[in-house]
Amino acid sequence: MPNKPFIADHPLIQHKVTLLRDKRTSSKQFRELIQEITELMVYEATRDLPICDVEVETPLTKTVGRKIAGRKLAFVPILRAGLGMVDGAVELVPSARVGHIGLYRDEKTLKPVEYYCKLPGDIHEREVIVLDPMLATGGSAVDAIGQIKKRGPKNIKFMCIIAAPEGLKALQEAHPDVQIYCASLDECLNEHGYIVPGLGDAGDRIFGTK
């Protein structure tokens, strides 16, 4: 059985996703919103990090506080659009390593084409959170996670902002062990493989290309 996906219901996330969808939102605002949503999502996705007791001395006395125990994180954005999520993620977890996987969808077949992969050397000691704002057919996420699994990380989570039901199903079937986090589960894909209602082409909106 695949893990039940986490679909954000927080009002702040829903509000920001609505602004993100708006076609009048500028690239600058779009990048800021992606960063803010990612921060809120990473907060949820790190809820299960183990913690341990540590002694700390306040100006008044010694006490026992809590710190994140040992487990190390790596964020792996799927290029290009996943890059828009990196700043938000490392803002919350500055000690995390960042790997990169370059994939683009062939416009006709909608199949992912790989062009780059650089992952942290110690990825086998890390928990990985894969970042990509869009989960459409699921081809890119399935492929990227397959590449990361070959390097034997401890655990993999996948974080997106908008998911289509088709992509969610494909990812759950291919990688049932991967916990999925998304800010919105949309209605469907159109005949060009775009998510509806979606937000258009995330990479183009982040980088101002067309």
CB 169 within 8 A of CB 138: yes
By rule CB under 6 A, what string of x and - marks binding of each residue 67-96 to ligand PRP? -----------xxxx---------------
Q: At what angle do helices 11-21 and 27-45 cross, to 10 degrees?
A: 150
Is 24 among the residues known to form the active site?
no
Q: Which residues, other chains included, contact 38 with Cβ-Cβ below 8 Å and sequence gap of 6+?
A: 84, 85, 87, 88, 89, 131, 159, 161
Closest approach of ligand URA to the CB of residue 115, in Å: 16
Task: Give CA–CA dist 112/170, Å, rounded.
Answer: 14
Q: Does 104 bind ligand URA (CB under 6 A)?
A: no
Query: Which CB sits closer to ligand PRP, 35 or 125?
Result: 35
Which of 162, 167, 183, 199 binds ligand PRP (CB under 6 A)? It is: 167
Cis omega (within 30 of 0) for bond into 197:
yes
Site for ligand PRP contains 203 (CB under 6 A): yes
Q: Does 161 bind ligand URA (CB under 6 A)?
A: no
Shortest CB 186 distance to ligand URA, Å: 9
Distance CA 166, CA 185 (A): 10
Query: Of residues 21, 71, 80, 105, which has the active-site annotation?
Result: 105
The interface mask with ligand URA, positions 177-196, x = CB under 6 A, is -----------------xx-
- Which helix (H) or strand (E) segment is 29 a member of? helix 27-45
Active-site residue, from 109, 122, 177, 209: 109
